[in-house]
Amino acid sequence: MIDWHTYATEQTLTWLLEENNPSVRYFTLTDLLDKPQDDPLVQEAKAAIAKTGLVPQMLSVMAQPSYRETYSRFYTYKYKGLVWSLITLAELGAEADDQIREMCEYLLVNSQEPEDGGFSMNTAQKTGGGRKSEVIPCLTGNLVWVLIHFGFLKDERLQKALNHLVEFLVLNDGELIESQVVPYDRFEMCWGSHTCFMGVVKTLKALTCVNRELRTEKQQATIERLAEFLLIHHIYKSSHNLKKKAKPGWLHFAFPLMYQTDVLEILDILVREGMHDERMEDAFQLVLEKQNDKGRWLLGNTYASDRLLIPMGSKGEENKWITLRSLRLVKGYSASQH
């Protein structure tokens, strides 16, 4: 039986609560220390997210006319475009304001494919809306998650996107059992003989952020299918040979994650959904082993974070975000054992 307090030392918590990172401070108070939203410290930290640090810095850059000119490259402008910047803002705990809502609306108009509801890498020049032949599951999952975070859950366009994630899901594990329909089948890497793990994870992330009481039966059934797909792989292994690390890169933790994923994000999603399964154990132990003697975790990968509008974190250095997410996982995993 694991006691998460063993890993969350007073020194580590004090570090996470420093005011120089209001987002981490806020999530430490709420997710680790269980402070309610009406707690003065929580309210103060939440207000600080909008006033100091990365969120106001990013929004200032994004308000410039020169940035507005990049809107049309919302996906292809990696990792400074509108898609990636909104993912980052949501991960940082930014709250929707008029500027953010306007940017979300731009993606709903120009990235969402109007017929089926998925999100596309580019806009259809002749008809407007997302180009149907370039709709991909990782992008759709990411933007559904972002839009729910920013308050669009009840928007009928968001509901259509949720339906897309359910209705067009195919899960293949090395053999083409479930076939995809035209034109989505053109992306073998997404929906081919082995379903793309990133699409699986981002779809699961999107669906699980819908409150249980608001989910449809199909959404809940899809969550269970997606979770089982990850569990048969023991999170990061080959399901056909569990001695093989199918995704060794997932053992190097990053923040923020864009279309990529890692062991930490996957376990966090599963545990926050209340899941505890022995097939998660190896991956969980790998997370524990990465804590250093100061009680902190390191940033293992910067493939996206050093290309953001405002770069954050240095590879190999102690990282508050990775430490926060690791401790949140340990806490949740510990609770699920009871």
* pTM for this predicted structure: 0.97
Is 90 exceeded by the pLDDT of residue 331?
Answer: yes
Task: Please report the DSSP string for 2-70 in residue order.
Answer: --GGGTS-HHHHHHHT-TT-HHHHHHIIIIIS---TTSHHHHHHHHHHHHSSHHHHHHHHHTSHHHHTT
The rounded distance, in Å, linking the Cα atoms of 136 and 148 is 18
**Nearest CA among 103, 105, 102 for reference residue 84:** 103
pLDDT in tens, 124-173: 999 999 999 999 999 999 999 999 999 999 999 999 999 999 999 999 98
Which one-letter DSSP state was computed for residue 178? S
Residue 198, helix vs strand vs coil = helix
Q: Which residues of 92-117 are buried (b: 16+ CB within 10 A; e: fewer)?
A: bbbebeeebeebbebbbebbbbeebb
Q: Scanning the structure block, which residue is given the tokens 């366009």?
A: 157
Asked whether the predicted pLDDT for residue 312 surpasses 70, the reply is: yes
- Which residue type occupies 247? K
Coil/strand/helix, residue 243 = strand
Q: 81: which DSSP letter?
A: S
Average pLDDT of the residues of the chain: 96
Give the per-residue pLDDT at 248. Answer: 86
Whether pLDDT at 177 is above 90: no
Question: Do 123 and 130 touch, CB atoms closer than 8 A?
Answer: yes
What are the angstrom distances between the C-alpha of 195 and each of 53, 96, 110, 210, 261? 38, 33, 26, 23, 15
Instruction: Check the CA dihedral 55-57-59-61 and report its sign.
Output: negative
The CA-based dihedral angle spanning residues 89, 91, 92, 97, taken in that order and rounded to the nearest 10 degrees: 40
Residue 338's pLDDT is 62
Q: pLDDT value at position 244?
A: 86
Q: pLDDT tens-digit profile of 8-67?
A: 999 999 999 999 999 999 999 999 999 999 999 999 999 999 999 999 999 999 999 999
Please write the tens of the pLDDT for every residue from 234-292.
999 989 888 888 888 899 999 999 999 999 999 999 999 999 999 999 999 999 999 99
